[in-house]
Structure 1
Amino acid sequence: MSNHDLFDVFKRMPKKVNIGDITIRDGLQHEEHFIPTRAKIFYLQELAFAGVKRMEVTNLGNPRSMPQFEDAEELLKAVHSDLFKKRLAKRGLKHEDIEWTCITIRESAVDRAIEMKKEGYGPDRILMMVSTDEQHHFANSGSTLPAYWKEAERCIKKCHDAGIKMCGTVSTIWGSPISGPTRFEDAVEFTSRWLSIGADDIEHA
């Protein structure tokens, strides 16, 4: 079956996809030892040289519970630095074509992202997340789902006012490590809810 036939059969199949990389954030967050900041910057640079246009840089939550991200501010300053931009330009790449993302589970982290944006080195896009399993959601965020949805709605408005995109993530759609199987219908419902309160895009996990 040709590509043309596939698109005829699956009318809603997207004609293109955007590939993002989450190695520096998700790939390193559980490492036992702190990965040097210079190594992270180098990795982000090489990803940019390879043509990746969307990258998760770090998590802006409290570094006391996530020491791998204690260099969040330094990393963001590095990828927005003149030196980083010059290196991209030498490869014929434009810094403004790359979308830098940070994880911001709670409102305090969102506020931190906004302050960084005002200072000129904040993320272009941030990510909040809900889990279809409420036990998993509480373990991840320390909040109940009803309270979190209200918080997320406030945060989306603040982000848009600051020129930051908000990604709404729906987690545990294929099952929870805490409670086991989850309902796929909840994943669909949560996706619709994110869009209804203004999320710019959705990720599923």
Structure 2
Amino acid sequence: MNLPNSVSIIEVGPRDGLQNEKNLLPTEEKIAFIHKLKEAGIKEMELTSFVSPKWVPQMADANDVITNCLDETRNFVLAPNRKGIDRLYETACKAVAVFVGVSETFNKKNINKTTSESMEELTPIIGELKEKGYFVRACISTSFYCPYDGKMNEEDVVRLCQQFASLGVDELSVADTNGMANPQEVYSLFTKLKVALPETLLTAHFHDTRGMAIANVFSALQAGITRFDTSAGGLGGCPFAPGATGNVATEDVVFMLHQMGIETGIDLTKVVDAIAVIEPHLSRPIESKYYRLHSN
């Protein structure tokens, strides 16, 4: 098997994990959750997002979260448009995530722009961010399937990723937004992306809608991917992707990797402790396999 010696985990629970949570969580609990995750050894994390509180009220406390959680590790804030970027500039955060959907319909429902309109807006913004010394992560939504448009064309995904790479982004997070991909599709797309973009950091982002997220992680490993977005407790979902369930659980992915001798630098016991902090405030139970077996 073609397996790496180590893998980087990008924790997305505090942002992607909580954005669709029905209960409005207290800011202090989010901050405690993030600190516990950092204590577990997580070095890269999506903290929050600068989006409209009207549409995503869970992220209304973004400034407070950033102020209390920035440290020497890489802390991302999602900023989908110029308004979000301008808010980012008012903080000390130096890593940003932008996103575009391969699917025109998804992009339109999410940020009321076509994919090409989003790229037109983001092109000068990315240049500006790079000039200012920001780490820029581009999230490619609906890279496999769209809840509205069905299966995506691989060539369209590769083309969009190449477009972002030409703008100088540091990382591409390629997402199975509604959790419909299978391992064969994952291997095929990431193999093509590795060939097309050999110098760009590629990250895989999976949701567990059909219970195949762990299998898809393994398939991406086989394709040479060594960076994965995961969410503690399997939290997640997308307000604009009906039917999408949580992200692949951090603890389940890390457990699998450790069992295969692949290093992550993450303490699983402390990940469980972090989840225990946030679980009482959630509207649904934590269902990840590792947490159910090891929580008190």
* Number of the residue aligned with 2:20: 30
Deviates more, 1:146-155 or 1:53-62: 146-155
1:111 aligned partner: 86
CA distance in 1: counterparts of 2:7 and 2:141, whole angstroms: 20
Q: What residue number does 1:85 align with? A: none
Quick one: higher RCO (CA 8 Å, sep 6+), 1 or 2? 2
Partner residue in 2 for 1:91: none
Q: Could you say which residue in structure 1 is the equivalent of 2:45?
A: 55
Contact kept? 1:167, 1:202, Cα under 8 Å: yes
Distance (whole Å) between structure 2 residues aligned to residue 62 and residue 108 of structure 1? 10
2:8 to 18, 23, 26: 18
1:77 counterpart SS class: helix
Q: Give 3-state SS (helix, strand or coil) of 2:47's partner.
A: strand
Aligned to 1:166: 136
TM-score by length of 1: 0.80
For 1:68-120, what per-residue CA distance to the aligned partner results, in whole angstroms no more than 9, with x for missing partners? 0111000011113xxxxxxxxxxxxxx31x1110111111101111122xxxx
In 2, distance between residues paired with 1:146 and 1:70? 28
- Alpha-carbon deviation of 1:15? 5.6
Count of aligned pairs between the two proteins: 175
What secondary structure is seen at the aligned counterpart in 2 of 1:19? strand
Partner amino acid, structure 2, of 1:65: W
CA contact (8 A) 2:31 2:65 kept: yes
Distance in 2 (alpha carbons) for counterparts of 1:52 and 1:155: 28
- CA separation in 2, counterparts of 1:99 and 1:155? 20
TM superposition score normalised by structure 2: 0.56
Q: Percent identity?
A: 27
Amino acid corresponding to residue 151 of structure 1 in structure 2? E
Counterpart Cα distance in 1 of 2:140 and 2:14: 21
SS class of match (2:138): strand
Residue number in structure 2 paired with 1:128: 98
RMSD: 1.5
How do 1:1-205 residues align onto structure 2 when only pairs under 5 Å count?
Answer: 6=2, 16-80=6-70, 95-96=71-72, 98-116=73-91, 121=92, 123-205=93-175
Helix, strand or coil at the partner of 2:58: helix
What are structure 2's unaligned runs of at least 5 residues? 176-296
